[in-house]
Amino acid sequence: MINSVNNISSLSMTRGLAAIEPGKSAASSAAESAANDGSFSAVLSNVASGAVSTLKNAEAMSFAGIQGSATTREVVDAVMQAQQTLQTAIALRDKVVTAFLDVTRMQI
């Protein structure tokens, strides 16, 4: 599940990308910012906001493509990135729900 969170972070977190040092990847910078926040809920919040921004970007690119100000390739890239982000978020949600159900089935 942690790998899923890291994958989502590297795909969809755009917060703080301007502050990335040369030679560092976006995933390592996102992991550092999540580690600095210190809580799992903060990581999930950042991932969710990154996913929403990716989906909004794809929608904006679609409109730009309709208006003729974006190329077909840019639109396809943005929509495919949004699709991958959505699939990853759904997989993460399924894992969290499964873990919750497993915990509720445990005997006390």
Residue 66's pLDDT is 94
Gap between the Cα atoms of 7 and 85, Å rounded? 9
DSSP H or E stretch at residue 9: helix 2-12
For 72-103, the pLDDT digits (tens) are 999 999 999 999 999 999 999 999 999 999 99
Q: Determine the average pLDDT of the residues in 12-19.
A: 38
Residue 104's pLDDT is 94
pTM of the model: 0.59
For 20-64, the pLDDT digits (tens) are 344 443 444 455 555 565 788 898 889 899 999 999 999 999 999
